[in-house]
Amino acid sequence: MNNRRYPNFGVLLVDDEAPFLRSLSIALERRGGINHIYRCEDSRNVMTMIAREPIGLVLLDLTMPHLSGETLLQQIVEEHPEVGVIIISGLNQLETAVKCIRLGAFDYFVKTTEEERLIEGVRRAIQLQEMRKESQAMRQRFLTDTLERPEVFSDIITQDKGMRSVFQYLESISTSSQPVLIMGESGVGKEQIAHAIHTLSNCSGPLVSVNVAGLDDNVFADTLFGHQRGAFTGADKARAGMVEQASGGTLFLDEIGDLSLASQVKLLRLLQEGEYYPLGSDRPKRIRARVVVATHQNLEEKQQLGEFRKDLYYRLRIHQVEIPALRQRKGDIPLLLEYFLAEAAEELNKTKPTIPKELPVLLANYSFPGNVRELRALAYDAMSLHHSKMLSMEVFRRILNQEIPCTESDKSATPIIFNPDQPLPTLQEAGELLVAAAMERAQGNQSLASRLLGISQPALSKRLKKKEP
């Protein structure tokens, strides 16, 4: 059973006509997916309810006995400025509408003729309220540099400030119903981030993961939306799609950058309308899951090339987080190496070896194109070959000696090493600068520095002795 409430805050409906309150509640839930609703028929109780309940948005009738909607609007704006107000009136009067907007109302709708516009307006107001709350939460976390639920991220091995900022951002958007776009190179741990988002959201339902790479349009639709019996040849019985299986939880779509244009249209409708049609059905179903997507590709470049829909891209990037590559958080390499070696030792039933002091320095000078996943594979490979107390560095030395081919963009671009406004150094000065930089990167280890320079260790030692006074 799905008990997820949308939005995270309450929506208070205020009208002295009980039948209208009931019909509006039904319309908001069925057509807008809004089920966190409070109702009030007596205008005198409105301020008490706002103070007592977690109200974030009020739909306010203008003409009521006791207290008018205009009077209540002014009180709400003055006493609870964080609460949004939408005016609903039986009168289509431009002057009244303008006055209400000036007093602080978010929008103004006419009861009898604008139900569709009203539902869209409520959804729009909810999104703005969510973003305002997220902005406040984010500002508070960054100012105090705190994490409210650090245990959620305990499985992500890091001490990097950039990763901590990512965690703070995820906590700030945890209550939002909007999709989240996770970006980052392959192997940085995007799926772990999706799991953290799911946990932070306090969902009652499951996390359902789908890798959409390589799915054609028909398979994508069937996988996500399911089908009715007889929808196509071989459909002997109805099958619930991943969207329905994720009800009350999180739907994680990995490799979203590989989605075909036809499937992108279906995903856009799902996100915009909040509903979908199982194959073979003419009755829509509402999505009851939060959508999280991930990609290692640059979606902005893909949409500029016409390979990714611009409207879908902007819909997905409402909440966007980029996970830094391992080479951008080198301080995490020793931590991760220790963790993966211990994990591999336990799995292979071996004793965890001592790590040579120069190994973290060696790895800090490697770009790790495969990121955390590559480091884990190297640790397991080293442990499988390990037989003594000290861990052999042979596996790790091999990767440093490998040549990484340049991309076409690398070949065409000439890096600027020296300031064009300054005179060039002599060959001897350039050589000394290069040696100094290599020694700094190698943290004084001549053997490693010589590898970085492509010369022998004795040759480097000779150069260093010449430089000595």
In this prediction, residue 326 has a pLDDT band, given cuts at 50, 70 and 90, of very high
Q: What is the pTM of this model?
A: 0.73
Radius of gyration of the chain (CA): 29
Can you tell me the mean pLDDT for 242-249? 94
Query: For residue 67, what are the contacts with CB-CB under 8 A and spacing of at least 6?
Result: 43, 44, 46
pLDDT score, position 3: 56
Domains and CATH numbers, the chain: 10-129 (3.40.50.2300), 145-324 (3.40.50.300), 327-403 (1.10.8.60), 424-467 (1.10.10.60)
Can you tell me the mean pLDDT for 151-165? 93
pLDDT score, position 386: 79
pLDDT score, position 452: 73
pLDDT score, position 396: 85
**Predicted confidence (pLDDT) at residue 329 exceeds the cutoff of 90:** yes
pLDDT score, position 97: 83
pLDDT score, position 416: 55
Query: For residue 1, what are the contacts with CB-CB under 8 A and spacing of at least 6?
Result: 248
**Predicted confidence (pLDDT) at residue 377 exceeds the cutoff of 70:** yes
Q: Tens digits of per-residue pLDDT, 392-440?
A: 888 888 877 664 444 444 444 445 566 666 777 777 777 777 888 777 7
What is the spatial distance between Cα 431 and Cα 74, in angstroms, rounded to a whole number?
A: 74
Query: For the chain, what is the mean pLDDT?
Result: 87
pLDDT score, position 466: 73
pLDDT score, position 175: 83
Q: Tens digits of per-residue pLDDT, 252-292?
A: 999 999 999 999 999 999 998 888 999 998 888 989 899 99
pLDDT score, position 112: 67
Percent of the chain with pLDDT over 70: 93
Q: Tens digits of per-residue pLDDT, 217-239?
A: 989 999 999 998 888 888 888 89
pLDDT score, position 32: 84
Can you tell me the mean pLDDT for 71-89? 92
In this prediction, residue 469 has a pLDDT band, given cuts at 50, 70 and 90, of low
pLDDT score, position 54: 93
* Listed ranges 97-106, 141-150, 386-395; the one with the highest mean pLDDT: 97-106
Can you tell me the mean pLDDT for 449-455? 75
**Predicted confidence (pLDDT) at residue 12 exceeds the cutoff of 80:** yes
What is the spatial distance between Cα 312 and Cα 262, in angstroms, rounded to a whole number?
A: 12
pLDDT score, position 468: 67
Percent of the chain with pLDDT over 90: 50
Q: CB of 111 within 8 A of CB of 159?
A: no
pLDDT score, position 435: 80
**Predicted confidence (pLDDT) at residue 2 exceeds the cutoff of 70:** no
